[in-house]
Amino acid sequence: MNDDSFTKKQMDYKVLLNAFGALSFLILFSCKNDHDVPPTFKTYLKTHTYAIGQSKMAITDVTRNRPLITEIWYPTKDTTKVNVTLDYPFKLPPTSKDAAFIANKFPLILISHGTGGNRINHSWLASELASNGYVVAAIDHYGNTYDNKIPENFVKAWDRPLDVSFTLDHILNNSKFKNIIDPSKIGVAGFSLGGYTTIALAGGEIDYEALSNFSKTDEGKNEFNTPEFGDVSKYMNPKIIEEGNTTFRHLKDNRITAFVAMAPAIGQGFVHEDQLSKINDSILIISAENDVRAPVKTNAGHYHKMIKKSRHIILPGKVGHYVFMNEAKLVLEKEAPFLFKDDATVNRRKIHNQVSKSALKFFENQFY
């Protein structure tokens, strides 16, 4: 089954309602509710600089035997193509499939999804960045997506930064995209386990032994419990701990110089400041005060205390972990309220606008 063909009736909603990290649902159904009517390109361009082009790219890292499906959003003036987002169960602006490029070079932002999610999870952020003059590439982390689950890939966190670096290699050498990217302006944004991915690419070096020890605590058991495999810490065997702490310890990518971590997870794998001493670029950390999946104290707040060049924004009130996912259309919101229905005091769209503005300002300050 692929993400372009499955229906909502095929989903296991018990899994959806208990998922750890971000899940994505590309459920093809029509929704006629007036609140779900998307804006037209004409309306969207009244408030944004560019229309949005969207393309999909399938690449494979043969060395690690990892297929890496990548979605790319980019600035365009071409609104004549098929609107990709019409069939999504999310409230998103229109995008023009494989639209013509603008003859200019733009910064590139890579996006890393959360555990059990996929590359479409943060289309809201990708769209906002693209419409303001950025090329954005979001990657499916093989074995750790909603439709491709491999137990060991839920604890082998090193594969994710390597996925991003490999994809970056490919994009910068791709005849189709390299001419619209400024290689001196590259950033990354990630959510949940993708937030950790962001910090690893900045130079953070996790201690898998410390992470394993944390997984045995009450808080750790909560963070490591997944609907797919239960307590995934059982897959963190001595071999994985050894590989993570030696072979795959150094994952910093010097080409990336701007980092945004949204509700970053597995913070307790960092116990000594020297694990973060190689970070020499600024990191923007954004967290949700009512996050029970990746609590601020042991994750975002902990990272902020240990990373000297970090700024921490806490979204106040009853804002939870999954607010960083797309805003769902009404039918999906009713079917999976755990992921898509927020507390009555929380407006997900306003939160997205706030986070987008903060990210745009941060990237602008880093690149210009």
- Locate the domains of the chain by residue range: 8-367
Q: Are strands 181-191 and 106-112 parallel, antiparallel or unpaired?
A: parallel
The mean pLDDT value for 312-330 works out to 97
**Could you tell me the end-to-end alpha-carbon distance of the chain, in angstroms, rounded to an integer?**
43
Rounded to whole angstroms, how far apart are CA atoms 99 and 151?
A: 38
CATH fold for the domain made of 8-367: Rossmann fold (3.40.50)
Least Cα distance to 70 among 144, 161, 138 occurs for 138
Please say if the pLDDT value at position 35 is more than 80: no
Please say if the pLDDT value at position 9 is more than 60: no
Task: Report CA-CA distances (Å) from 316 to 33, 160, 289, 290.
Answer: 30, 29, 5, 8
Amino acid 225: pLDDT: 86
State which amino acid sits at residue 15.
Answer: V
Tens-digit pLDDT profile for residues 262-294: 999 999 999 999 999 999 999 999 999 999 999
The mean pLDDT value for 340-347 works out to 96
Amino acid 20: pLDDT: 35
Tens-digit pLDDT profile for residues 46-65: 999 999 999 999 999 999 99
Mean pLDDT, all residues of the chain: 90
Rounded to whole angstroms, how far apart are CA atoms 342 and 248?
A: 37
- Percent of all residues in the chain with a pLDDT value above 70, rounded to a whole number: 90
In the structure encoding, which two tokens stand for residue 34, read together? Answer: 């007036």
- Percent of all residues in the chain with a pLDDT value above 90, rounded to a whole number: 83
Residues facing residue 67 across a β-bridge: 60
Comparing 16-25, 80-89, 164-173, 286-295, which segment has the lowest mean pLDDT? 16-25
Task: Report CA-CA distances (Å) from 314 to 19, 73, 319.
Answer: 23, 28, 9
Please say if the pLDDT value at position 31 is more than 60: no
Rounded to whole angstroms, how far apart are CA atoms 296 and 134?
A: 29
Q: In three state form, how does the secondary structure of 184-217 look?
A: EEEEEEEECHHHHHHHHHHCCCCCHHHHHHHHCC
Predicted TM-score of the model (pTM): 0.91
Task: Report CA-CA distances (Å) from 59 to 19, 156, 309.
Answer: 27, 20, 34
What is the CB-side half-sphere exposure of residue 301 using CA atoms within 13 A?
A: 11
Strand order in the sheet with 106-112: 96-97, 51-61, 66-76, 135-139, 106-112, 181-191, 258-262, 283-288, 310-315
Tens-digit pLDDT profile for residues 67-111: 999 999 999 999 999 999 998 999 999 999 999 999 999 999 999
For 126, other C-beta atoms within 10 Å of its C-beta total: 28
